[in-house]
Homo-oligomer: A and B are copies of this chain.
Amino acid sequence: MSLRTLIYGVGPIGALIAKYALKKGYEIVGAIDIDPNKVGKDLGDVIGLEEKLGVIVTSKPEEAFKPRRPDIVFHATTSWLDKALPQLVLAIKNRVNVISTCETLSYPYYRYPHIAELLDNYAKSHGVTVLGTGINPGFLLDTLPAILTLPHIRVDKITAIRSIDAGKRRKSFQKKIGLGLEPNTFMEKLSRGELTAHVGYAESVLLMASMLNVELTKVEEKQEPVIAEEEARTEYFEIKQGTVKGIKGYGIGYIGGKEFIRIEFHAIVGANEYEEIRIEGEPSITWRSTGTQGDMGTAAVIVNLAPRVVEEEPGLKTMADLVKASYIHA
């Protein structure tokens, strides 16, 4: 498939996206990163290919858009829409579509409703489409549970759980969930924003609710450490007894006083890997998977949806615009 793409952010996810984009036959016409170890180098070298791509990583975003206008930007720089905003504005101003891993962009109307309003208008004015997505938020705990409700005439509650073995993930992931920290330190760092752990519980809950046409009365999200009962180790961290061996996170959407949507993300060293989606109602069903690799999954979601985003009508979109099939809460 022929698409001209620009890689905005050549971190672990951006590098995977670049590799998959090439496998799909997309062209890469530019790459942006701020890491001095990457700037000025050929993208092929930076992402570990054996051949050069003729694309030099630049730290000057304006220049990356100049030589050849891309059809779409693969954006993977931050979880936070306010931080991503200058980058998105630049892409839109250049009339280039954007698909982004930015977690808070997957349902931007929650944390950044006014930015979302402005972005939608700006994207429409410039005739381009902007979508935030990924494996989570974006697919496993929102879009997929929503479509699984389609054959149900009544839904009382949706529970979606994703469990991964944190010990098998990359170092930066293990670090951001606080492996090996004392529980107190974990909670302090989490509250100060020094540990992000997972971002996007509320976004998943609200994205799913928007697909189901449900007005939630309250949304909660929280994360808590899981404490090692015995010593463990990963390739990168030593985990003493009594320190953090993972996290459990929750997003809950209520209707009245009752849980209607409950999503859980477990990232724990040594945990079984699976997704489980339970729909209670008329009828009830449980779906269970053998597990999804997160980084690969996010990169694949982004790369697979790129042609759809290019074709979609202009504006700020969510996955609810691409998947219009679910139970309707009427």
Contacts and interface: CB of A to CB of B under 8 A. Distances in A.
Interface of A: 1, 20, 23-25, 135, 139-140, 143-144, 147-154, 213, 282-283, 285-293, 296-301, 303-305, 307-308, 312, 319, 322-328, 330
Nearest to A26: B330
Q: How many copies of this chain?
A: 2
A25 to B, nearest CB: 6
A38 B301 CA distance: 50
A285 B290 contact: yes
A306 to B, nearest CB: 8
Nearest to A16: B153
B328 A292 contact: no
A297 B327 CA distance: 11
Nearest to A144: B147
A275 to B, nearest CB: 8
Most chain B CB atoms below 10 A, which of A1, A25, A283: A283
A301 B150 contact: yes
A307 B319 contact: no
Contacts of A325: 143, 304-305, 308, 319, 322-323
B287 A289 contact: yes
Nearest to A140: B151
Given A144-B147, A287-B289, A289-B285, A327 B308 contact: no
B150 A147 contact: no
Contacts of A290: 285-287
A24 B330 contact: yes
Contact of A296 (B139, B153, B304): B153
17 contacts: A20-B153, A144-B148, A151-B297, A153-B296, A153-B299, A285-B289, A285-B290, A288-B288, A300-B327, A304-B325, A304-B326, A304-B327, A304-B328, A305-B325, A319-B325, A322-B323, A323-B324
Contacts of A24: 328, 330
